[in-house]
Amino acid sequence: MLRWTIAFVILAIIAAIFGFGGIAAGAAGIAKILFFVFLVLVIVSLIRGRKIT
């Protein structure tokens, strides 16, 4: 999932360089959503990975 986030960030940067503002904004928004989903999944997996004694 982090790879998809990086791909969309790169796409947003390239689109912004070439002047495609709408595409850049859309790709940046998707990258932001994917990054937060990735963070939530990492936190959940860290919590579930611990053994409660």
Query: Quick one: pLDDT at residue 3?
Result: 87
Q: How far apart are CA 15 and CA 40, in angstroms?
A: 28
List, in order, residues 6 or more apart from 22 with CB less than 8 Å away.
none
What range defines the domain where residue 40 resides? 2-49
Query: Quick one: pLDDT at residue 36?
Result: 92
Tens-digit pLDDT profile for residues 1-53: 778 888 888 888 898 888 888 888 888 999 899 889 998 988 888 888 865 55
Give the total number of structural domains in the chain: 1
Q: How far apart are CA 16 and CA 39, in angstroms?
A: 26
